[in-house]
Each structure stands twice: as structure tokens, then as C-alpha cells.
A = this chain, B = another copy of it.
Amino acid sequence: MDVKKENFSEWFTEVIKKAELADLRTGMKGFIVNLPWAVQIMKRMYALYEEELERRGHKPAWFPSLIPEELFTKEKKHVEGFTPEVFWVTGAGSEMFKERYALRPTSETIIYHMYSQWIRGRSDLPLKIYQSCQVWRCDTSATRPFLRGREFYWIEAHDAFATEEEARAQVREDMEMTETIMHQEFGIPFIFFQRPEWDKFPGAVHTYAADTTNPDGKISQQPSTHLLGENFARVFDIKFLDSDGKEKYVWQTCYGPAIWRIFASVISIHGDDKGLVLPPKIAPIQTIIIPIYKKENEQQIKEKCLHLKDMLRKAGIRADVDFSENTPGYKYNEWELRGVPTRIEIGEKELKGPTFTVCRRDTGKRQNIEEVKSVSELMLLFEDIKKNLIKRADEYFAKQFHTANSVEELEKTIKLGGFTRIPFCSNGFDGQHCAEELKERVSGNIRGTIYGSKEVPEDENCIVCGKPAKVYVYIGRQY
């Protein structure tokens, strides 16, 4: 049975446990221990994302984890959106503070408080800064490792510009980064939506978000970008003296790749019934070498393994040898479970050379490679594995799109999972009522209109209220 497809939720829980990715037994709901194998993967994911952000002009900074209540509550919609989930620090030692501190659920307020002190003239713009950090939200719904928790790990990039045009260009750049890293490196396909008005980030003009789907067809929100306009600038007084001699508010955007959630998608989308399947670039071990020996050749084979490991490592390949007492079969399972992209078995035959057998985790296929070419052959293999993972994921994702022209049709398609396109009255606030009705009838959430799409309904009506449809929106069940 294909457990992952049949019972995704159980599969996900099992894989996290067996591959030792997280331990939930902290005694605190929604707070988990991120175990070494998971952290080693996520550190690489962070590094790749950070490199891309820096390549596009962002610089790293570390802002405080605590935010004074006065600052935190400055932007009205923002505070309304986040306050119900904020953890409050009310004192230290035996002393109570006069003013509480919010444990940051997101960092706009403290960061923009600084921006108002840093930005003076045009030469201070654009200002593009990111921080890799945790945020805390007291989510009262069911929590799951990497998907939903009270402490989660992300990157937040906060950019300020002189003009609206530049801010809008940043939204496109954020989408490009999502493509370059999340899709092309981690193999997670996505589609970028403009969220409906009623589902925006609190304080934003527009929210654009990448959605992907899990094998159970449920939608997982991935990095989102918010066009903040001048909203926060007006509240935090972030102004610059423009070249025309006038003081103007900056235009802002923020972008939030949640490494935790992307990792959840890496587990879910690439994994199979044997466990994780990791893209080579983020695998802590890229090649595991398994010695297969009898007493008489044990020494020679172990030496051969070590020699191979050293040679691969010198070439920059993350190789390791499993010298544990377990049987080769046990070891195969173990490393397959952890998603190691390639396995090399070294036995009597390999002692003589001149070839090795390499087994790919993604396809299970074996192939011979010449020992003298092992570095270059493995490098090619890694590239091929990555491409294959992307291809498989893309093919799966392409099947996640349906259309419906009535609520009855939608009732059927929404059960298939993924996204159903429907003609809809409005992506603006006037569509909220219909959205709520749909939520009740089909348990689906409107994801919004496709970003940059030119598709517009002609002579179609909203499937809920029957008024002329102004937009096509996509709807599906989410995490």
C-alpha cells in the first residue's frame, strides 16, 4: 500500500519520528525539539536562501526578540491581527514591568521603529535587510512539527523604497527568489496568488503568497510577500527627503520564507513509503558508503571505504561510511529512511575495481561508475537527482488544478484536493460574504487570483451569489 497517499497524516507523523526529525515531548504544546538531522538540513536551506537574498542586495541583521507593547500596538490593523496570539513578557525575576513586552510574532514594528531612525535621504534607499530567526505565536489550533507551531523558524526580509514602482518590482523579485530557491533548489512547486482583501497580512496593501500542495491535496502556504505601501511608514514616520526637496514616506515590502514550512513540504512532496528523499544540495550526507565484508576481507574493505570517503570529501562531497554493527540490509533501510541521495556498497568485487555500484534514493536504480571518475559521476548524479525530484513534483502539482462552474461541481472537485478555479464576484472586500458561505459549504479557503494572470471571466457569474464574476479565484482546503 502507498501509505503516503492513503494516509498522509499518519505517514508524516511516522516519518518525523523514524527519521528522527523532531521530538514533541517537551511538555509544551507547539514547542518541539528540532533534532540534529532536521537541523542539519534546515541550516543548509537557510544558507541557500540567505545567499540568494544577499545576491539580490539584502543584508543580514539581528533585531531584538522582544518588542515594547507601545511600539507593537502602533499600527492598528497589525495589532488586531496579531494580538490574540502574542506571548507577553510581563516581568523578570520577582519584578513586574510597567510596560509589557511582546515576544515577537513578526518583526515589522521593531524593525520599522529603527528604519525611521535610519532613513533620511534618497541615498539611504533602497534599504533591504533580512533576519533569520524564530517567531512565536500562541496558535490555538492543532500544531504539527514544521507545519504549525508556537515557535517557528523563518526568514523575514524588510525592504524600503523611494517609489511605489520599486516596491512593486520587489514583489516580483521575491517571487523570482521563491522560484530560484524553493522550486529550483528544494524542488517545491508553487503558484503565486494575490490574496483576497479579507485574507491579507494585517497592515498590508496587498499580500502575495506562494501556495503548494501536500500529497493529501491540502494546500500549504509558502513564502508570502506583502506590499505594505506607505501604511507602516505613516505610522512609524519613515520619511526621506526626495531629490525634489519634498519629504516623502517610503514604500515598503516584506517577504517571509518560512524555512520550517518549506522543510515540511520537502518531507511531504519528495518523501515516499521508505522515508525521506532529500535533494542532494541540502542533504547532510550525500553519499553513504556501506562496507560489506567477511572476516577475511574486513580490514581491506574498511580501508577501501575510508579511502573512498576521504577522496569524496576532498572533492567537496559530503560522504560518510556506516561502520556500525548492523547488517547491510538494516543500514540500507536506515539511510533510505533518512533520505540520503546515493549509496555506494563496497564488497569483495569493489576491492578489485575498477567500478562501484551506486544506488539512487529517488528511483532505487543502481548504476556502475568507474572508480577514477567517481567524483564527477556523483556530481552529475546529484544534478540528475535534483532534476528528477523537480520533475516528479511538477508533474504531481500540475494535476492539482481543477475548474468548477457551480457549487455542486466544486463540492466534487474540492475533494480531489489542490486548487479549483471558480468564477467569483470579487477578490475585494465585497467578495468576503461569498467566501464565508463557500467556507461553510465546502470547507475551502479562497486563495485569491493568480499573480500577474490576465485571465478574466467573460459573461460568467459568481458561483455563490450569481452576480457577474469579476475574477477567477482558486479555492482549496488548507493546513
Contact = CB atoms under 8 A, between A and B. Distances in A.
Interface of A: 23, 25-28, 31-36, 39-40, 43, 59-66, 68, 71, 83-94, 101, 103, 110, 113-114, 117-118, 129, 134, 136, 138, 151, 153
Contacts of A94: 84
Tell me which of A33, A43, A92, A151 has the highest count of chain B C-beta atoms within 10 A of its own C-beta: A92
Given A60-B36, A153-B62, A28 B68 contact: yes
A245 B64 CA distance: 50
A62 B83 contact: no
B91 A90 contact: yes
Given A33-B63, A34-B62, A85 B92 contact: yes
Contacts of A36: 59-61, 129
A26 B114 CA distance: 7
A195 to B, nearest CB: 23
Contacts of A114: 23, 25-26, 33
A134 B60 contact: no
Contacts of A89: 87-90, 103
Given A25-B117, A88-B90, A33 B59 contact: no
Contacts of A86: 92-93
B90 A62 contact: no
A92 B105 CA distance: 11
A138 B92 contact: yes
Contacts of A151: 64-66
Contacts of A28: 64, 66, 68, 101
5 contacts: A26-B63, A26-B110, A31-B66, A65-B136, A90-B91
Contacts of A27: 68, 71, 113
Contacts of A110: 26
A33 B60 contact: no
How many chain copies does the complex carry? 2
Contacts of A129: 36
B93 A138 contact: yes
A299 B98 CA distance: 61
Tell me which of A25, A27, A62 has the highest count of chain B C-beta atoms within 10 A of its own C-beta: A62
Contacts of A85: 92-93
A35 B92 CA distance: 27
B88 A61 contact: no
A10 B43 CA distance: 38
Contacts of A71: 27
A330 B66 CA distance: 38
Tell me which of A59, A65, A88 has the highest count of chain B C-beta atoms within 10 A of its own C-beta: A88
A43 to B, nearest CB: 7
B40 A59 contact: yes
Given A66-B28, A114-B25, A60 B88 contact: no
A39 B60 contact: yes
Nearest to A149: B64
Contact of A39 (B62, B83, B87): B62
Contacts of A118: 23
A118 B23 CA distance: 10
Contacts of A90: 88-91
Nearest to A23: B114
A331 to B, nearest CB: 16
A117 B36 CA distance: 16
A129 B35 CA distance: 10
A91 B93 contact: no
Contact of A31 (B59, B64, B153): B64
Contact of A134 (B33, B35, B65, B84): B65
A71 B27 CA distance: 9
A448 B151 CA distance: 40
Given A91-B90, A93-B83, A64 B153 contact: no
